[in-house]
Structures are given as structure tokens and as C-alpha cells.
């Protein structure tokens, strides 16, 4: 029996074509026209279409993420829907997918996909990505895995996946843990479970959260400016294991004193932050000052998590618990799903 799959189109390169006058990619394809370019997509499932919009990835905002969640939530509650596929611009796909992951407790497969090339270009990857994503959304082993991302025949968890290359097809990877599974000629193979399967859930988000990346010789000017502007949360992409220059450290101390929640992650592509170093600005000193450690998350993901967490609570102990003592699939603890 065919599964009932809800397709939600939000835009991105998959909905774009090359403008012959400018030679640039622009949104042009509504869902109905896009699906005409993907023959046989409905052979595996009964498909329903929801036209959310035609947003390029950089145009996505926290408000649009919340609006999308309301749409997704409606289909999650619909007993006739077996799975959901969402098309999205790849520039911010990992952020929106992670946002939905933190908000959802549904066992139903929710799969994000997109494309790196427009339908005007040779080798348009939108066709196989859509076909593969519908196959994943139909598969029984894709249930209870949280939100998934499927492009280039590879399946990754929203909690782990990052965009690693500006243009290559295989850009979406899970650098710390490896892919979750693959799609091979319509066959779906799941090799492992996600390392992190967390649920926060909130009726609102705190949009006033900023992200800064540290660099050699950085001072605290930008942090001070954000604090003066009234920032509620701040994510710092620190160096290495989670260390910052002394002036940055001093400004972080002042930010915390004024009630700003500060989360530290690493600017490195792999690994976790930890309180290894005890010099001024080192991880141990940051932890002692009240900085929250973001584990394996990169800056954009940590910002999404902090926005959702601050939407639910402003209590420092609860925020620390959310970031540093989340529930892990590998331990057998209750994931909340």
C-alpha cells in the first residue's frame, strides 16, 4: 500500500532557474511546475502539496521557521499523513531542519532536501534528491530518528549535518559522526541512530541571539556593542577546544554579569569544546565564569538551539542543562520522542 506523503515547498535553488537575461539563478518554479520535472515521483507514494513559499535560503528568518513549524505540526497531527518532505534552500537548510528537530517529538519521518544546481543546469540534483527523500519518508526504519536531511543519496540527522562545501553535490555531511544511511536505487539503508535526539519544544523563540567568530587579536568591542544593544543570548565560535583571546574573555565576563546567556562552541570543523585550558580566556576559566558549552554543535546550530531554549526558559541552570546534559540515544535514556 502506498504511503501518504506531504510535500512542503519553501523555495531554494531547487525551485530556481537561470534567467537568460542576467545569467543568474532566481526563484521561478511553483511546486506544480517543479513536480512536472520529476517523473515517477508518485509511483511510491500518494503525494500532497503545500506551497509555503519561494524563499532563497538566506531569506529565512526565525519568524518563518516558526510559521513552518506550525504547518509541519498540523501535518504531524493528521493521522492520514505518514511522512513529510520539505524542500529548502541549502544555505540555511541545516538551521531550519535543526529548529524543527528541536521542536518535534513525532515518530513520523520528516525529511529536508534541496539542490545545489537549478533545473536549468546539466546534472540538476533536484530530481534524485526529491525521489530519494520521498523514499526515506516512506521507509519504516526512518521513523523515530528525528528530522533527517537527504541529498546526494546520503541521509544525515538534522542534529549533526552541516553544509561543508559551497558548490559540491555531497556538501551535506556529519563531520563528527558520519552519515546515518544511504538511498541506493530506491532502497533505503539506515546504518545507525543519531547520537543526539533532543526535544526542547517552545511556543516562541528568542530572536535576539547573535553569533560571533573569534580570530587572532580580537578585542571585546563587538561583544560590548551587542550587550549595549540588549542582546539576550550570544554564541561565540571560540578557538580550538573552546578558548578565546583575553579581551574577548573580559567582555564575556561583563556580558554574563548583565544577564546575557553566553554559549561557546569551536570554530574548528570537528570535535567538542571542553574545559581543558586554565589560562585567562581558556575553557576552564570560561566555564567557571558561567559560560555554557555547546558540545559538538557549530555556531549556527548553537544559535538555533539557544533561540529555542531562551524561548522556553531564562533560568541559567535550566539552560545549562539543555546544552550540556541533553538526552543521548546512545545511553538508552528517554529521548522525549
Cα end-to-end span (Å), the chain: 26
Q: Is residue 334 pLDDT above 80, yes or no? A: no
Whole-angstrom distance, CA of residue 103 vs CA of residue 117: 30
Q: Is residue 281 pLDDT above 80, yes or no? A: yes
Residue 81 has phi, psi (to 5 degrees) of -95, 125
Summarize the confidence of residues 291-301 as an average pLDDT. 96
| % of the chain with per-residue pLDDT over 70 | 96
- Short-list 205, 206, 203, 255, CA closest to 227: 255
- Residue 264 CA, chain-centre distance (Å), reads 18
Q: What is the pLDDT of residues 136-168, one digit of tens each?
A: 999 999 999 999 999 999 999 999 999 999 999
Summarize the confidence of residues 245-260 as an average pLDDT. 98
Q: Which residue has cell 528530522?
A: 147
Per the document, the length of the chain is: 337
Q: Is residue 337 pLDDT above 50, yes or no? A: no
Please enumerate in sequence order all residues whose Cβ is within 8 A of that of 22, keeping only pairs 6 or more positions apart, or say none: none
What domains lie within the chain, and their CATH numbers?
3-190 (3.40.50.1170), 209-324 (3.40.50.40)
What band does 196 get if pLDDT is binned at 50, 70 and 90?
Answer: confident
**What does the pLDDT read at residue 332?**
32
Mean pLDDT over all residues of the chain?
94
The pTM of the whole model exceeds 0.85:
yes
Q: What is the pLDDT of residues 62-100, one digit of tens each?
A: 999 999 999 999 999 999 999 999 999 999 999 999 999
- Looking at the annotation, which residues are catalytic? 13
Amino acid at each position: 500500500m502506498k504511503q501518504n506523503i506531504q510535500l512542503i515547498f519553501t523555495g531554494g535553488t531547487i525551485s530556481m532557474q537561470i534567467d537568460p537575461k542576467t545569467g543568474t539563478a532566481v526563484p521561478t518554479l511553483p511546486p506544480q511546475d517543479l513536480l512536472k520535472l520529476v517523473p515517477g515521483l508518485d509511483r511510491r507514494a500518494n503525494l500532497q502539496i503545500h506551497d509555503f513559499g519561494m524563499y532563497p535560503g538566506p531569506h529565512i528568518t526565525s519568524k518563518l521557521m516558526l510559521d513552518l513549524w506550525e504547518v509541519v505540526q498540523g501535518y504531524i497531527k493528521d493521522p492520514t499523513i505518514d511522512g513529510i518532505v520539505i524542500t529548502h534552500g541549502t544555505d540555511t537548510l541545516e538551521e531550519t531542519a535543526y529548529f524543527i528537530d528541536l521542536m518535534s517529538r513525532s515518530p513520523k519521518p520528516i525529511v529536508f532536501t534541496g539542490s545545489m544546481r537549478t533545473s536549468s543546469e546539466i546534472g540538476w540534483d533536484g530530481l534524485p534528491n526529491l525521489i530519494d527523500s520521498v523514499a526515506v519518508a516512506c521507509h519504516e526504519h526512518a521513523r523515530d530518528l528525528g528530522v533527517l536531511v537527504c541529498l546526494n543519496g546520503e541521509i544525515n540527522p538534522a542534529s549533526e549535518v552541516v553544509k561543508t562545501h559551497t558548490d559540491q553535490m555531497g556538501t551535506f555531511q556529519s563531520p563528527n559522526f558520519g552519515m546515518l544511511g544511504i538511498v541506493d536505487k530506491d532502497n533505503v539503508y539506515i546504518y545507525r541512530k543519531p547520537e543526539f535526539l533532543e526535544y526542547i519544544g517552545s511556543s516562541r523563540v528568542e530572536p535576539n541571539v547573535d553569533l560571533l567568530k573569534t580570530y587572532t587579536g580580537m578585542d571585546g568591542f563587538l561583544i560590548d556593542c551587542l550587550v549595549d544593544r540588549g542582546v539576550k543570548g550570544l554564541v561565540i565560535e571560540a578557538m580550538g577546544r573552546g578558548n578565546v583571546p583575553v579581551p574577548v574573555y573580559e567582555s564575556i565576563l561583563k556580558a554574563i554579569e548583565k544577564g546575557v546567556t553566553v554559549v561557546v562552541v569551536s570554530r574548528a570543523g570537528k570535535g567538542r569544546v571542553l574545559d581543558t585550558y586554565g589560562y585567562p580566556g581558556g575553557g576552564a576559566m570560561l566555564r567557571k565564569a558561567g559560560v555554557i558549552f555547546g558540545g559538538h554543535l557549530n555556531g549556527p546550530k548553537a544559535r538555533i538551539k539557544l533561540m529555542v531554549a531562551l524561548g522556553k526558559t531564562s533560568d541559567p541552570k535550566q539552560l545549562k542543562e539543555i546544552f550540556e546534559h541533553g538526552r543521548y540515544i546512545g545511553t538508552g535514556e528517554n529521548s522525549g520522542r
